Structure 1
Amino acid sequence: MHTIQSITEQLYWVGSSDRRLERFENLFPIPQGVSFNSYLFLDTKTALLDTVDSSVSQQYLENVTHALGGRKLDYLVINHMEPDHCANIEELVRRYPEVLLVGNKKTFQFFRQFYTLDIEKNQYLVNECDILDIGNHKLQFFFAPMVHWPEVMLTYEKTEQILFSADAFGTFGALGGNIFADELDFDRYFLDETRRYYANIIGKFGAQVQAAFSKLPLSSISMICPLHGPIWRKDIPYILEKYERWSTYTPERQGLVIAYASMYGNTESAVQYLAKLLSERGIHDIRMFDVSRTHLSYIVSEVWKNSHLVVASPTYNMHLYSGMANLLDDLVALGLKNRKFAIIGNHTWASAAKKSMEETLSSVKGGEVLASMDIRSSLKEDDLAEITAMADTLAASILEGRKS
């Protein structure tokens, strides 16, 4: 049975959701699933914007067939050639052999890398700012390279001022009938997953996000239709402000994340003591994670949200403990900027963790290490003055940041 939904008089959502998929890109846990969005204009001409992942092809093709109601498909706009959005292109060309595939040079290069169907006669090559007239609606194409692939386009419908934003403004989490953000308790159920999606999928490309947005009439947009998650038709400045912060690596709040690795509980005990000291100094809602138990994507999301990060780890085999090394390498690879850090190393017979963490975090642009210490096996009375000084420094920095 079809599950299409009306967005405007001539625009329909024809996507689907997957609640069975365990990991997005076989990497990120998605306990609430994920939606794959596709949009169809039924104007003088018909235009489909993007397809979906192969996991939901059956539902998707049923939706498209029903929505077309016997009409031919004139255009398929390919904003993004990642397989979770282009898996049904070949099948649509087979069903609608006269369809024109709208894309740029990189789009069709990537198509040939993924697929084998000959689409030479179907290609409709567009350049930056070209307009496709389908009747009442005019689709204008803005190139957004590296948001987050090099071929990405954003499609702006000029009549109703709708932005089809590819992976931008997307989120983890399946849709259950309500396809609009204003129909959902967005802050409760989707905000954290939207941030986790941004930080881990797009986070590295903040400058490219800013460059893409500079081309768009952001103040005029009436609706944002992403490829994952709910559609924005109200409170658009709210989500634009989030993206402004995330893409400029600006913390949402002056707050603290503590990420630690602990083999036998001694490093964990040290950060628990630090957290107690910080709580006594007025630092609330401290976010603490064991890197061996929590998937890195959740920690990365919290680091994107907060201004300060404490990392604590033992030395292992004369190197940094692998779980912590993975987190720090990921943060650097994602281009984290403008955060303040404190470091706690732990060792029994060879100290390497503290130095390794210092070297890695020193590469963070706009970063600052406020305090760093090394303990021997477990926190002792002799360490209390140093860890208390660390708590004082962190608390003062966070509280001062809240005043500005």
Structure 2
Amino acid sequence: MSNDVNQALESAFAGVADNYSGREVDLYPIYKEMREKSPIIEEDFMSKLGVPNIAVPDPNRKTFTAFKYKDVMTVMKDAESFTSGFIAEGLGSFFDGLILTGMDGEQHKKMRSLLQPIFMPNVVNSWRDTKMDPIVREEFLKPLVAEGKADLMDFALYFPVRLIYSLIGFPDDKPDQIKQYAAWALAILAGPQVDPEKAQQARKAAMEASEALYHAVKKSVVEVRASGSNGNDLISRLIHAEFEGRALDDHEITTFIRSLLPAAGETTTRTFGSLMVLLLERPELLERIRNDRKLVASAIDEAVRYEPVATFKVRQASRDVELSGVKIPKGSMVQCIVSSANRDEEAFDRGSEFDIDRKVRPSFGFGFGPHMCIGQFIAKTELSVALNAILDLFPNLRLDPQQPHPKITGAQLRGPHQLPVVWDN
């Protein structure tokens, strides 16, 4: 069964990448020109590139696209004028509309206040040494040491899935079950499609995957609650979470975890791949980080700025607004091109260079404002654990000279597809 499950997960991951990749074009020079000449345009820029929309299509609704840091920052910070509720009707429909990124106002504030403490660094750090580090080293990397070579994207696909599912509280001794859950989660992400012929089939598959995942998660939630929910796992912590006297019921816990899963592996996998490509292309920098591990966090933050996985965010104007002199009517969609804003020369000195020593300034790889990614501390800790373990266990790590040079690609959900490396053993 294991090979079938592996194949299902790998196929689902590749399918999502293909779905969101868009046309194969170097977008960064285009973004630079847009920042200089047309910083805000009335156009659905990403759809023209062939990237599917996470909102329900509406031909009567205008779409604007913003490319500059200051405009993206304005939109991300102002959740009253630029709302996210439309996500509950689009991508959120695969989660019964109960998706944190698709909530606005008081509903979002209360739910986030309930969930936020569970994702803070003190909790995540308690998982680092007890679960994350042992799993990455013992299960994934030490068995590879004697090989002297690998495609690190194979590791990248599986380790975040293994980690987040362990942290959630799923059984550690059922790897095939975990991979099946992950394949379902990725099938949900593939629900939105550009091609109308594929859309109906993909939507049906996404709904079926979402339902299967719901029942699987609900079973675990019920079991954890029945056993006393005394563990340090995410399900137990969600059962005990409380805000203003309000706790979550089993349906809400199940739905939240189900909505967390598609991004939980996906984003970390692609960020890890891009981070390693950027470091392996700069051997002196990689060696510097190997000798000074305090630089690991800076390298991760810079990779998230320089090559964000989620290249754009979308909001909807809740009223008539003006953005840098451009009038945006109520109901219009606003695409914020994160990849462009993160390299804006007005915000980042030499923004088109990868520089882990740059002055710290907020970027948008994990979003910004009220809807900033709630799981970012988990993702960054997973990445730190993985990079530190690789530097410890793989001496003289370098790109495999016998294999094609890895490329970071995709108009959305960016990352490399292969990452062949060798090391001394």
Same fold (TM over 0.5): no
Greater share of residues in strand? 1
Bigger relative contact order, structure 1 or 2, given CA contacts below 8 A and separation 6+?
2
User: TM-score normalized by structure 2?
Assistant: 0.23
The structure having more radius of gyration, on CA atoms, is: 1
User: TM-score normalized by structure 1?
Assistant: 0.24
Greater share of residues in helix? 2
